[in-house]
Amino acid sequence: MSPIQNKWQNKWQNKWQNKLLNKPLRSFTYDPPSGDVEVLHEDEHFLIIDKPAGLLSVPGKHEYLQDCLESRMQSRYPEARIIHRLDTATSGVMVLARTPHAHRHIGLQFENRQVSKTYIAHIWGKPSETSGTINLPLICDWPNRPLQKVDFEVGKPAKTEWEIIESIGDVTKILLKPKTGRSHQLRVHMLELGHPILGDNLYAHDDAFNAAPRMYLHASTLNFRHPDGGTHLEFVADCPF
């Protein structure tokens, strides 16, 4: 391990132990929003939708967790299949396949990191730089799941590029470009930057958590190649905050 990696690891472990592991997780009640999910685009191959915050992407194990994006979309489009997911608290653009070919084709693009995405977030405070890259490997903190943690020994590579859009008082609006798709990647990377996402019930300190009515993280754009012909496409979901 390089001296820089060792510095990051020691810093993370101390912060994690002091600020997260000794603090009980906030309570969570699943109360998904009502109403139809907005369809931004549809053709015979796939659907582009704008997932609302508070809605699971796929059903959970318990009966009260069955209402989700997948089930709502399949009530309107029985053939629709999930390709990727967003966290329950995250809103924004997603693609669902309507054919087995589209599912395989677009799914492989995700797997091979040929899909590009951008997110918009509001974070607590203002970074000292106007842009940067966070390259910290992540893994599930199993005894404290669903929390994720940085681990340089067994963590999976995770890379996020970020750029400030504007700062207003104690809050900064930021553009995030994940280059990998690890669970909670943007949330943990922003925490490691020292600026947690507002409203994040898992990682934000109390001031940042209470500063927003929901987690202010939104999947803004999604770029991939059309499964029929390979045309490069970009879809946008307007940020609601």
Give the residue numbers marked as catalytic.
87
- Structure tokens of 76? 């309107």
Give CA angle at 78 (75, 81), nearest 5°.
Answer: 105
Contact 124, 170 (CB under 8 A): yes
Contact 89, 201 (CB under 8 A): yes
- Structure tokens of 220? 């803004």
Of the candidates 72, 241, 95, 222, the one whose C-alpha atom is nearest the C-alpha of residue 173 is 241
Q: Exposed (0-12), middle (13-18) or buried (19+): which is 15, by Cβ within 10 Å? A: middle
Of the candidates 163, 156, 154, the one whose C-alpha atom is nearest the C-alpha of residue 190 is 163
Residue 43 has, within 13 A of its CA and on its CB side, a CA count of: 6
Non-local (6+) Cβ contacts of 12 within 8 A are 136, 149, 150, 192
- For the chain, give the longest Cα–Cα distance: 54
